[in-house]
Amino acid sequence: MPSIEHIIAIDAMGGDNSPDKIIEGISLFLKEDKNIFFNIYGQADPVNNSLKKFGITSENNYKIINCETKIENKNSVRDAIKVGKDSSMWKAIESVKNNESDLIISSGNTGALLVISKLLIKMIEGVDKPAIAGLWPNFKGTSIFLDLGANIEFNEKNYLQFSKIGAELYKVIFDKSNPTLALLNVGSEEVKGHEELKTSFNKLVNQKNNFSFHGYIEGNEIKNGDVDIIITDGFTGNIALKTAEGTANYITNEIKNIFSNNLYGKFCYLVSYFLFKKIKKSLDPRKYNGGIFIGLNSPVIKSHGGADALAFYYSIKLSAKILRGNLIKRIKSNIENE
Amino acid sequence: MPSIEHIIAIDAMGGDNSPDKIIEGISLFLKEDKNIFFNIYGQADPVNNSLKKFGITSENNYKIINCETKIENKNSVRDAIKVGKDSSMWKAIESVKNNESDLIISSGNTGALLVISKLLIKMIEGVDKPAIAGLWPNFKGTSIFLDLGANIEFNEKNYLQFSKIGAELYKVIFDKSNPTLALLNVGSEEVKGHEELKTSFNKLVNQKNNFSFHGYIEGNEIKNGDVDIIITDGFTGNIALKTAEGTANYITNEIKNIFSNNLYGKFCYLVSYFLFKKIKKSLDPRKYNGGIFIGLNSPVIKSHGGADALAFYYSIKLSAKILRGNLIKRIKSNIENE
């Protein structure tokens, strides 16, 4: 019998190709780690079929909680709250509220997940609202970047609190004791940026932080890897992330086209086949799958709706890391010390 | 004798490797187009040396206006204004004010160029402040993107005016009569974004525009090429552009490393040499060099400080296009019709 350390609630019905990709992601995880238990929320029949399909036979690591409905991506947040109480997402979040699970992962409707989580799990005392943090690859490793879109505007309190919380998140995920943190801005000089940024900058310079404050960085510096945690408001963060995704897509497509549009190109592609495999692996966005909702009384992990089984597996790995690192306890002790 | 259509003022001293790269850029341009005349502002000796070096012998297309000082990148805007009156940048801008030149190009200090241009050339009547527009490559061609950083915040009037002005800029550069325009946002639904965006969106939907209004687009859609002009505030725009540059840099570096870190990689690189040349050409950022300051009584073109002669040549080509398309007249007639 495995010794269960933590219980993760899984919304098995969100995103494309569910529950298959969700269950396959769990099966990949269980091959290497049997100390996590899964409460699987979803329609029992398709979930059972998926479990069979992906060879999860022992019931040591899961139970199914049958939910007849699900929240669709096309549902407005208001509809999701009104009619979603029997859905897999709602029930999964509720299990965290009732201490039946330690954390929830969903590939479903982001807005609904955010609002229902806030409604049921509630904010950590002293924190106003949740933010969404994500992993961002760089030349030296991986940074944490937030807010990816939960808050269109940030005030000084948001900058300061999410800096604190982001730093604890980084420490837990990457086992580093004194990470560096920067605010994203349009220049590195103190006079740059809008008022909230400048007053936050001044506070961070003059107070004791749970990280090493690096000052401002610009968009092109995110990739350098000199900074572990990068803080920006949800409007800018969402646009920066999506612009980066679009740019990556554009460049890899240009290269793909040039290596496939005539015989010489195809020949070179064949010769370089193993290099392209390596490039694909090195740039694989699935490794960075998982938006982490922070500021709530429990971590909530949003897996990308279009992500596949491997990407979902990475979200589970990230979740296990967060639970084992006692993230919420660490955040609370930092917020209390304010 | 060439028949001169327009006169461009050149600040020959700004940016790295000046005046060499500036004069070489002019020489590249003059090889294909002799109908532009250049007022070259800079230190006469080094400028004359460069002219000789790059084989500009006939004086039909230029004159040198000797300026003993120059504004450095490290100068604050305040210092630039206080002590810069004899500098190449100031004198070049002044020549536009005095109708001795039709447009100015500089590779120098962006802040100084923006503030001195506003001071001397003044805003078009009815326009509050300048914005910086740039060219952004996409799957189908090139878009115009603004604001790249002149205005940290935008109000509704800014969104509406810069949409109008951006549309005329696009028409002049790309000879297209009814371009599409979108506002950059964190989602495509009407309810997304902050207040100024939403009220601007509503105005653009309900009024007659000098473009076809496409609504909102997200950061990952910039590259699709479905939209010709993309409008956002200077804070977001600056960070989006620089994040895209950083991402492009990251990906091309990863690929370069994989194609050079062992013998097999180097062999594949050699085999694919002509493809890599093609990729380099296709992704060459120099083609998109030139920030265009708009809203002023004359176009002001900022060439990237680190850009080389070829990039500077592209800025001149862009400038000639803008002058021949009568941009300022077109903008004025659109602003008057408000």
Burial of A206 (0-12, 13-18, 19+ CB in 10 A): exposed
- Note whether B275 contacts A253, CB cutoff 8 Å: no
- Note whether B239 contacts A248, CB cutoff 8 Å: no
**Residue B64: pLDDT over 80:** yes
Say whether B133-286 and B1-127+295-338 share the same fold. Answer: yes
Q: Yes or no: is domain B1-127+295-338 CATH 3.40.718.10? A: yes
B270 at interface of A, judged by CB pairs closer than 8 A: no
- Note whether A268 contacts B264, CB cutoff 8 Å: no
User: Which residue of chain A has the CA closest to B252?
Assistant: A251
- What's the pLDDT tens digit per position in B196-247? 999 999 999 999 999 999 999 999 999 999 999 999 999 999 999 999 999 9
Q: Which two tokens stand for residue A7?
A: 């219980």
Q: What is the pLDDT of residue A1?
A: 65
- Note whether B283 contacts A251, CB cutoff 8 Å: yes
Q: How far is A246 from chain B (nearest CA, A)?
A: 4
Choose the closest CB to A245 out of B137, B220, B282: B220
Helices (H) and strands (E) in chain A, counts: 12, 11
- Note whether B236 contacts A235, CB cutoff 8 Å: yes
A173 at interface of B, judged by CB pairs closer than 8 A: no
Largest CA distance in chain A: 65
User: Which residue of chain A has the CA closest to B221?
Assistant: A246
Mean per-residue pLDDT over chain B, rounded: 94
A281 at interface of B, judged by CB pairs closer than 8 A: no
pLDDT along chain A (338 residues), means of 10: 90 94 97 96 96 92 95 90 92 97 96 95 93 95 95 94 96 95 90 91 95 97 96 97 94 92 91 91 87 96 93 96 95 82
Choose the closest CB to A246 out of B185, B219, B255: B219
DSSP-assigned letters across all residues of B52-108:
HHTT---GGGEEEEE-SB---TTS-HHHHHHH-TTBHHHHHHHHHHTTS-SEEEE-S
d(CA B208, CA B212): 9
pLDDT band at B141 (very low <50, low <70, confident <90, very high): very high
Q: Is the ipTM of this complex over 0.90?
A: yes
Q: Is B34 helix (H, G, I), strand (E, B) or coil?
A: coil
**Chain B partners within 8 Å of A224 (Cβ):** 246
Domain B133-286 is in which class? alpha beta
pLDDT band at B253 (very low <50, low <70, confident <90, very high): very high
Choose the closest CB to B235 out of A186, A242, A252: A186
Q: What is the pLDDT of residue A180?
A: 98
CATH topology of domain A136-287: Isopropylmalate Dehydrogenase (3.40.718)
A205 at interface of B, judged by CB pairs closer than 8 A: no
- φ and ψ of B61, to 5 deg: -115, 10
Q: What is the pLDDT of residue B338?
A: 62
Over pLDDT 70: what percentage of chain B?
99
Instruction: Give the pTM.
Output: 0.93
- Note whether B235 contacts A193, CB cutoff 8 Å: yes
**Residue B190: pLDDT over 80:** no
d(CA A184, CA A108): 29
More confident residue, A219 or B82: A219
Domain ranges of chain A: 1-127+295-338, 136-287
**Residue B191: pLDDT over 80:** no
**Chain B partners within 8 Å of A283 (Cβ):** 251, 254
A258 at interface of B, judged by CB pairs closer than 8 A: yes
A221 at interface of B, judged by CB pairs closer than 8 A: yes
User: Which residue of chain A has the CA closest to B220?
Assistant: A246
Are A23 and A308 contacting, i.e. CB atoms less than 8 angstroms apart? no
Q: How far is B83 from chain A (nearest CA, A)?
A: 21
Q: What sign has the CA pseudo-torsion A178, A183, A188, A192?
A: negative
User: Taking residues B69-78, what's their average pLDDT?
Assistant: 91
Q: What is the pLDDT of residue B142?
A: 96
Largest CA distance in chain B: 65
List A residues 126-165 in contact with B (Cβ-Cβ < 8 A): 137-139, 149, 152-153
- Note whether A255 contacts B255, CB cutoff 8 Å: yes
A220 at interface of B, judged by CB pairs closer than 8 A: yes
**Chain A partners within 8 Å of B147 (Cβ):** none
d(CA B278, CA A262): 13
List, in order, residues 6 or more apart from A129 with CB less than 8 Å away. A118, A123, A150, A151, A158, A295
